[in-house]
Amino acid sequence: MQQVAIDGLFNVRATSSDAPWLVRSGATEGITRRGADELRRLGVSVVVDLREPDEAGVVAHGIRVLPVPVYGTTPPRAGRIEDIYAGLLRERGGALARAVAHIAGAERAALVHCTAGKDRTGLVIALARGAAGASDDEIVDDYAASAAEVRAAREEAAQRMAHSATGDERAEILRLHLESPPEAIAHALSIVAERGGAAAYLAAHGVTGAQLDALRRKHEAAR
């Protein structure tokens, strides 16, 4: 995915810079009117918000929002990224699949975001692109690209969450909130592979054959 500049958003990438079918970002509350116009010019017709209800604020982009609370509870403030991703894949497959179904059903492009745009967003993007035909290497490279922008936007918040922790616990908190290590998403992809791959995983959690076909068509049309 390519980096694109949207005024008021951070950690933004899209499957193309002119007519993408999929866009990812961090939280959208800071978007400006100019940024909203830029999203529309990219063709974004729906926004899939992966956060819990109490995380979301007022947004000004005016594009239809489809909420899919991925965790179903308060997001973790600490923990090993690999373990958190594994837990989501094993226990929250229905939510992940609903998010991907919204992407498949988007009339034009779907924007997917959570808070930082790397963890919940990373898993949903990995599943959608994997089912559409992207390679694991492409997915890992895209995921790893989040770190620099997330650190710039979220360093202060992460330091607050880690202020009372020490040693390994502090390191894991900062890694969770600021880093996008390739090995973390690679581990998630290995779990998906054990379940037959992204398409099989999504089908097992409710994504239809027609929706999977739609993802493949979107991907092929953009190649």
Q: What is the CA radius of gyration of the chain?
A: 16
User: Would you tell me how many other CB atoms lie within 10 Å of the CB of residue 220?
Assistant: 10
* Percentage of the chain exceeding pLDDT 90: 91
Residue partners of 222: CB distance under 8 A and separation at least 6: 15, 16, 19, 20, 21
Amino acid present at 100 = V
The residue-averaged pLDDT of 5-29 equals: 96
Question: Which residue segments constitute the domains of the chain, with CATH numbers given?
Answer: 2-221 (3.90.190.10)
pLDDT of residue 23: 98
Can you list the alpha helix ranges (DSSP code H) found in the chain? Answer: 33-42, 81-91, 93-105, 120-132, 136-144, 146-162, 167-178, 182-194, 198-204, 209-221
pLDDT one-digit tens code per residue, 129-153: 999 999 999 999 999 999 999 999 8
Average pLDDT, the chain: 96
Q: How far apart are CA 117 and CA 153, in angstroms?
A: 11
Q: How far apart are CA 77 and CA 92, in angstroms?
A: 18
pLDDT one-digit tens code per residue, 108-118: 999 999 999 99
pLDDT of residue 60: 86
pLDDT of residue 223: 74
